[in-house]
Amino acid sequence: MSKERLNIPDYNTLFTEERYVQQRENKKQFEAPCSDQEKAEALAYSKSAEYMEKNFERKAVVINPHKACQPLGSVMAALGFEKTLPFVHGSQGCNSYFRSHLSRHFKEPTPAVSSSMTEDAAVFGGMSNMIDGLQNAVALYKPEMVAVCTTCMAEVIGDDLTAFIGNARQKGAIAEDFPVTYANTPSFIGSHITGYDAMIKNILNQLFDRSGLTAAPGTGEEGEKLNVLLGFEPYTGNFAEIRKILNAFDTKYTILGDHSGNYDSPATGEYEYYYGGTKLADVPKAANALGSLVLQKYTLKKTQEYISGTWKQQVSSLSTPLGVKATDKLLAAISELTGLPVPASLTEERGRVVDAYADSHPYLHGKRVALAGDPDLLLGLIGFCLEVGMEPVHILCSNGDVEFDGKKWKEEVEALLATSPYGSEATVYVGKDLWHLRSLLLNDPVDLAIGSSHVKFAAKDAGVPLVRVGFPIFDRHHMHRNPIIGYQGALNLLTLIVNIVLDQLDNNESGFGDLVR
Amino acid sequence: MGLDIEANKKLVEDILEAYPDKAKKDRKKHFQINTEETKESCSCSLKSNIKSRPGVMTPRGCSYAGSKGVVWGPIKDMVHISHGPVGCGQYSWGTRRNYANGTLGIDNFTAMQITSDFQETDIVFGGDKKLEIICREIKEMFPLAKGISVQSECPVGLIGDDIEAVSKKMAKELEMPVVPVRCEGFRGVSQSLGHHIANDAIRDFVMGKADLAETGPYDVNIIGDYNIGGDAWASRILLEEMGLRVIAQWSGDGTLNELEIAHKAKMNLIHCHRSMNYMVTHMEQAYGIPWMEYNFFGPSKTYESLRAIAAKFDATIQENCEKVIAKYKPQMDAIIGKYRPRLEGKKVMLLIGGLRSRHTIGAYEDLGMEIVATGYEFAHKDDYERTFPEMKEGSIIMDDPTAYELEELAQKLNIDLMGSGVKEKYVYHKMGIPFRQMHSWDYSGPYHGFDGFKIFAKDMDMTVNNPVWNLIDKKEKVQTEGASV
């Protein structure tokens, strides 16, 4: 058997073979394609300033948005609690999409069920689906809590979750004392981060109310603990990093909403549906904690209001702490909340990261960067760019929620940019999509784009390398396992970015062959 | 050699014990064990195409997924609006890997997410006005787009928007087809109704609208191939080598013009019968075009299908067919020679969409693998009738099985390979069971045709025999008594 006969080309190679090239050409006679000239003109036009102007004038169509919808965030939030089964009330396709989408990012299973509403539910409401659904879900998947969120369908027909869940208890579908938390999360409001917030806030609120406890911050056994909330967190590694930091402080803490267990579970020969998560009993007790540390303040808007309002706690709000300065702030916030000094081990770690920054600065200084992502992530990324001497140029946030556009977020971004001469080139685009970004990249070129896998098309059209950071990352493996927050995260981000720059240098090198950089 | 019928009956019954009574009674109707009788008569009592139980992890999706994700989405030179809130379009963006030649955003719009991104005001006041503006903006942004389809999401149907009227108006104004597709996710019980709705829209709005300058005796259409990882290309190359002229490819790498001229073909060749049978039966009635189902998975089925196709044509085609088979057979024999010894006797379970759960059986069998259980997400009675004869006696055939049922079966049947989708994939990795995603070919492919089988065989060997599985201490829940397999 010769090697040649068993040559098995992959799809990239196979379709470049002459016979497939011919097939492609031959097929055109039936396609009624546009002429090559028309195509060349359209391509050139799509890259022009004139096109960009029209692109930014469009009012209605959204092309390649950088956001998902509310219930997806709710499913992630629910998976942050011990033995909690997410239950999506509405059409079943939504739930399939959430499960697929999250699994594609984490390369992990996403257990979640749906009430599978169809036409008859559209007419009569989804109550019987809810009752049967809760009974089946509890019998089959043995959760200790079910967290219900709604889809568009349930919201448009106006299903009443409180009444439905109450009726399910009355009919004996679930036990009286079985916790079912719920949130209204229509996809036509906000985005995945709004849905995350709604579900976290409601889980805290509803479990606390059920417990009959009274909020008394700083009292009892919880009184020395810190609550920590990471938000819609696509990096399981960030949970490990925040634990490391808090442990270094030697402070006690409760992470409220920790899905890292579910999205980083071991292969042991058995699958168990539920891994890790915040213990349900710890949730009401968190009302007595010393204070709360929030790492995605724009994402967790309602949750913070609840914690400071009802639990009457001191809340320290940050955006995703990316880079050295943001980590300094994080440590200062922990110090302030706990009264503990910053541990020497972390100060030492900081020094090592700054040393690494210094080593890499020649390759990062003055690099023009485009950024796309969620509000808190973007604030973190901008801070990181500014402190290593990279220049953010296009900053794009599709999450056009009024909260962010209503100036607060944009103002904060602009204030941050104003703190550094490296921020002077930047423009912030709220509510814009990745087709806008394409025009920006083509008309005002940059050296690097930073964003999710969805940014790859715009980046490719513009010939710009993409540094994958954020959600979703579908086309690279295990990036979510490495933290990007804290000093270690800063080092990881630095490594990722500088090595893409160095790859670029090597790819473009003209034959001199530098070995050492 | 068959499998143990009684043992497998009992196995299924035991697994269903976990359900509350109402759900148990329902789920029982969705399982059947293949017997000599069902194999021959193809008769089944198995229930399909009915609602999933609420609260279970069904693998199913929705009508929108069937229409936009499967049928319309791959038509490359039209813009498909995900009409409604942002999610549906976002989650279906590029995930089916429908390859298409062309320049993205210029004359190819497949791997894009174009949406009306409904906000609360659109729900309150309706999205029709916005839809008009969107159509105009699409024309402006994508001047080479040949048409538009409006894929409606749940809220659009619930609030009563008249997308038909808007589409009609905009088609006239923009002088190109604007096709309303009523594929709201709550319609029907799975993706399947979405396929039907999408087919009807093709029939009503584009079919027969263009002419083919020159027709010939060998003109055929490829129907129901979505070009996942290039499948349709690996199929088309064989048909063309055989001397047939493929005038339209539906809908992977397809164009509006191909939809419009397809009625000129002499024969419809259908791969995914489930999603496009509506089309071929309509074309048979309206245009007298005969159709036949074919199966290009694995060399045995491909030889069989090529010969069956050739038999519908003249001696020239039949001779060419033999030449094509003779040309590829040594390559296929070499592949089998290499991989069969590594895969012989391995037990496989499948849970896929609407045709692969039976169509791929031959390809596994060519590699010496044995299908012990198979099932569909959204098949109908006719799919099951086609499935029984393909399966061994005693094998388990199941409809819309839940994640729980599949996991129990996988462990108790002690399978060596599971083939299903991304929602299932990582569960099996935890369990230490080799897994291939059979919706998207696990980011590999093509799997159709002879070129595809090479990759299929390599992928199955890679998966089943990777040493990683030896690192997992499998706690097998294998049946102790009367082991079924």
Q: Give the pLDDT confidence of B358-417 residue by residue, as tens digits.
A: 999 999 999 999 999 999 999 999 999 999 999 999 999 999 999 999 999 999 999 999
* End-to-end CA gap in chain B: 10
The reply to whether residue A63 touches residue B114, judged by beta carbons under 8 angstroms, is yes
**Is it the case that residue A401 has pLDDT exceeding 90?**
no
Q: Which of B49, B51, B57 should one mutate to test binding to chain A, selecting the residue with the greatest count of A CBs within 10 A?
A: B57
For residues B24-37, one letter each, b for 16 or more C-beta atoms within 10 angstroms of the residue's C-beta and e for the rest, the string is bebbeebbbbbbee
Same domain, B176 and B88: yes
Chain B residue closest to A267 (CA)?
B430
**Is it the case that residue B103 has pLDDT exceeding 90?**
yes
Tokens of B303: 């030889």
**Is it the case that residue A5 has pLDDT exceeding 70?**
no
Domain that holds residue B253: 219-333
Strands B78-83, B114-115: parallel, antiparallel or unpaired by DSSP?
A: parallel
CATH number at residue B415: 3.40.50.1980
CA distance B27 to B236: 40
Same domain, B79 and B167: yes
Same domain, B348 and B412: yes
Q: Is residue B316 part of a domain?
A: yes
Residue A172 CA: distances (Å) to CA of A125, A143, A329, B386: 20, 17, 51, 42
pLDDT in tens, B23-48: 999 999 999 999 998 888 766 789 99
Tokens of B88: 């549906």
Angle, helix B315-343 to helix B231-241, in steps of 10 degrees: 140
pLDDT in tens, B123-172: 999 999 999 999 999 999 999 999 999 999 999 999 999 999 999 999 99
Q: Is residue B350 part of a domain?
A: yes
Arithmetic mean of pLDDT, B281-295: 98
Q: Is residue B452 part of a domain?
A: no
pLDDT in tens, A341-357: 999 999 999 999 999 99
- A188 residue type, one letter: F
Same domain, B369 and B328: no
Distance from the Cα of A194 to chain B's closest Cα (Å) equals 13
Residue A188 CA: distances (Å) to CA of A185, B72, B152, B186: 9, 24, 14, 17
Average pLDDT, chain A: 96
Q: Which of A19, A100, A269 sits opposite B237 (nearest CB)?
A: A19
Q: How many CB pairs under 8 A join A and B?
A: 335
Tokens of A346: 């972390």
Residue B263 CA: distances (Å) to CA of B211, B240, B266, B284, B343: 9, 19, 8, 9, 43
Q: Is residue B117 part of a domain?
A: yes
Please, which residues bridge with residue A315 across strands? A292
Residue showing tokens 């003055």: A366
Same domain, B348 and B397: yes
Same domain, B48 and B77: no
pLDDT at A405: 62
Using an 8 Å Cβ cutoff, are B187 and A119 in contact? Answer: yes
pLDDT in tens, A176-228: 999 999 999 999 999 999 999 999 999 999 999 999 999 999 999 999 999 99
pLDDT at B44: 75
Half-sphere exposure of residue B367: CA atoms within 13 angstroms, side-chain side: 27
- Name which CATH class applies to A354-508: alpha beta
CA distance A440 to A445: 7
ipTM of the complex in this document:
0.97
Q: Is residue B170 part of a domain?
A: yes
Same domain, B86 and B178: yes
Please name the residue ranges forming H helices in B206-255.
231-241
Q: Which of A3, A15, A27 should one mutate to test binding to chain B, selecting the residue with the greatest count of B CBs within 10 A?
A: A27
Please, which residues bridge with residue B267 across strands? B220
CA distance B266 to B367: 35
The CATH number of A70-210 is which of 3.40.50.1000, 3.30.200.20, 3.30.460.80, 3.40.50.1980? 3.40.50.1980
Q: Is A152 a catalytic residue?
A: yes
Of all residues in chain A, what percent carry a pLDDT higher than 70?
Answer: 98
pLDDT at A513: 80
Tokens of A347: 């100060």
Contacts of B420 in chain A (CB under 8 A): none
Q: How confident is the model at residue A374 (pLDDT cuts 50, 70, 90)?
A: very high
Arithmetic mean of pLDDT, B294-301: 98
- B365 residue type, one letter: E
Which residues of B does the annotation mark as catalytic? 62, 65, 96, 195
pLDDT in tens, B230-269: 999 999 999 999 999 999 999 999 999 999 999 999 999 9
**Neighbour tally for B196: CB within 10 Å:** 22
Distance from the Cα of A287 to chain B's closest Cα (Å) equals 32
Q: Is residue B380 part of a domain?
A: yes
Q: Is residue B449 part of a domain?
A: no
Using an 8 Å Cβ cutoff, are A196 and A374 in contact? Answer: no
Same domain, B52 and B67: no
pLDDT at A145: 98
* Cα angle value B25/B29/B31 (rounded, 5°): 120
pLDDT in tens, A74-93: 999 999 999 999 999 999 99
Same domain, B382 and B419: yes
Same domain, B167 and B131: yes
Please, which residues bridge with residue A147 across strands? A86, A181
Same domain, B126 and B161: yes
Q: How confident is the model at residue B477 (pLDDT cuts 50, 70, 90)?
A: low
Q: Which of A23, A188, A267 sits opposite B122 (nearest CB)?
A: A188
Q: Locate the domains of chain A by residue range.
A: 70-210, 226-338, 354-508
**Is it the case that residue B354 has pLDDT exceeding 90?**
no
Using an 8 Å Cβ cutoff, are A446 and A368 in contact? Answer: yes
Distance from the Cα of B384 to chain A's closest Cα (Å) equals 23
CATH code 3.40.50.460 for A226-338: no
User: For the whole model, what pTM was predicted?
Assistant: 0.97
What is the tally of structural domains in chain B? 3
Say if residue B251 is preceded by a cis peptide, omega within 30 of 0: yes
Q: Is residue B476 part of a domain?
A: no
Q: How confident is the model at residue A510 (pLDDT cuts 50, 70, 90)?
A: confident
pLDDT in tens, B172-187: 999 999 999 999 999 9
Same domain, B360 and B300: no
Phi-psi group of A183: left, alpha or beta (phi > 0 → left; psi -120 to 50 → alpha; rest → beta): beta
Q: Which of A43, A121, A156 sits opposite B123 (nearest CB)?
A: A156
The reply to whether residue B334 touches residue A271, judged by beta carbons under 8 angstroms, is no
Q: How confident is the model at residue B485 (pLDDT cuts 50, 70, 90)?
A: very low
**Is it the case that residue A237 has pLDDT exceeding 70?**
yes
pLDDT in tens, B49-101: 999 999 999 999 999 999 999 999 999 999 999 999 999 999 999 999 999 99
